[in-house]
Amino acid sequence: MGIEDFGGGQEPHPDVLVVTTNDVPGFRVERVIGEVFGLTVRSRHLGSQIGAGLKSMIGGELKGLSKTLVQTRNQAMERLVEQARSRGANAVLMFRFDVSEAADVGTEVCAYGTAAVITRV
């Protein structure tokens, strides 16, 4: 597995810019559209559960679970961007992730932020 299996984020020049900051240097917020989010829930695979249980006894990274979580986060972020785009935004400010257990059968990942229209100053 290469480094691309364990990362995420956007392409260099996205049509909807996603940032964790309140503003974007060199841009002005013209309009705040409001909260947007992308949500996904992934169930656990029995094989990965058994492997994770065995690995936890000897220590080390659970690479299969790490890769699954990255895929889940990326899917949640893609859904967030789609929602922002459909509401007319070209940016999402104050972007965050929230991860929690979903009824002991999976992992819920929510990507959320504030959709906005920004322009260059």
Residue 72 pLDDT? 87
Residue 108 has pLDDT above 90, yes or no: no
> Per residue in 11-48, pLDDT tens?
777 899 999 999 999 999 999 999 999 999 888 655 55
Residue 68 binned pLDDT confidence (cut-offs 50, 70, 90) = confident
Residue 26 pLDDT? 96
Tell me the three state secondary structure of residue 61. Answer: coil
Half-sphere exposure of 17 (CA within 13 A, CB side): 18
Q: What is d(CA 67, CA 42) in angstroms, rounded to the nearest whole number?
A: 12
User: CA 94, 26, 33: angle at the middle one, nearest 5?
Assistant: 40
Residue 54 pLDDT? 56
Strands 91-102 vs 17-18: parallel, antiparallel or unpaired: parallel
Helices 46-58 & 63-86, crossing angle to 10 degrees?
130
Residue type, 96: R
